[in-house]
Structure 1
């Protein structure tokens, strides 16, 4: 636990040196990193999503690649391809940018469904297939995907089954006026110079150790039953939250929701300095884990009912252990 605290303090210090505010984003990125999952960030442009991802990679001294998604992006542009070498008369494999420790998929919903599928296969299987050969992605492997909710022209909405591959989904909010003033002050001081790197770093071995410690955080059977009960209610909502709200749920969470709660609650407990999970950890993760897994009907959208509202009702209906 002491070693985990030391690693987390190093990352947090380096993050705070470049990022102003956005504490929720910092927590979400750390949770995804510790749990070994991937994260989807949704926000309007200009809220430092790219800066947060590159800062995290710089702190870990990991290989970081940024992929700007466009409609003409091909799967081979992400995974890699084979190139003919005329000198030797053979083909050689050139690995794509997905073969990095930290991959930022900027505006993932602008790439075609075929390209999205290639990326999500790498996320799930932790490997790519090029010319019939399997190439493993490096470890640790974290994908940070972003999407812009205000521009729909020329976009390909992520299918629900593919959204489920993301461990967490975070909605990045605008900074407060005080934080925005601090951003301007840091720009004037040169603290946000892109050539300035983190002064304190950790290694990839430290990240793997952090993930190992997180996986050994104790989860009581009562907490496990609480998680399963919550996910079950999302699939059978009417008897628990009533016909009005329950009727807005088109599909509930898959078992990946339970798995995500288990892994993320362990990481959140470790972030809080505990070696055990408490019910509040699960409750605090409810929107991060379920907002992209609980699918609502068209009527819910017409009535301005958000998935977060339904999720809160589900948590209110299940007794806390």
Structure 2
């Protein structure tokens, strides 16, 4: 039986619970330590996910003291570059939460460190693993829909809720608030279906939430290298949560509803001219297993069972670059 991959996890914020639980659910993995500046938070995460592991306050002390094969980085965006490079220099393989970094240049520095130290690294872009998007991919592959003509993606979320981490409300620490935090999510899932690199891009970021200086909403517009246009909208105010993506093909429209809001139930819908309406399609995967699917693919790559990262550093860097291009337009 192969030796387990010895992981340490950095950060005990909100995302550490689903990420950590999905990581330790992989049979190849042993989680040996968690670090967090507030030790009690790391202890709580360990208890919540059922991890019997050491707790550290200092991530650097943790990677110096423990015999590790890999790390999971769940830290705030502004820490990603330096922590990633330090871990890469120690020869540790890396799974890192999105966004890869706050700036495209930081992403390039991380890519260089990974290449120079010959490590394996992949990025947590969870949205593509959602059951609805996986069902949409399968539907596209098994139906003759013709060329993809347009993509539209819309999220409405109460971004400024009381539990939002303070670093996410700082432009300097978060890289631009909702524009980077949610923007790379939406860009990733749009490109997951687009299968084209963006050759034209424009964006408008609106700062309209009283008392805050970070963007509160955005609109992005792009064109893929094959000429397919897309639009992305995200608004961060109060109101029913909305999360949906539409794919317009020659032979019909796929509507992906991630979050039911009263207009639609969560699910996948297909409509064409003949039917004149959207009809619900089967979604076979468990709706709450997207993190597990993500980490199954990531760990398979880290273990050397696959030579292609599920989400490469280069891909994740391009998502950051597009958000950055939008800021340059402001």
Structure with greater proportional strand content:
2
Q: Same fold by TM-score, threshold 0.5 exceeded? A: no
Higher relative contact order (CA 8 A, sep 6+): 1
More helix by share: 1
TM-score by length of 2: 0.28
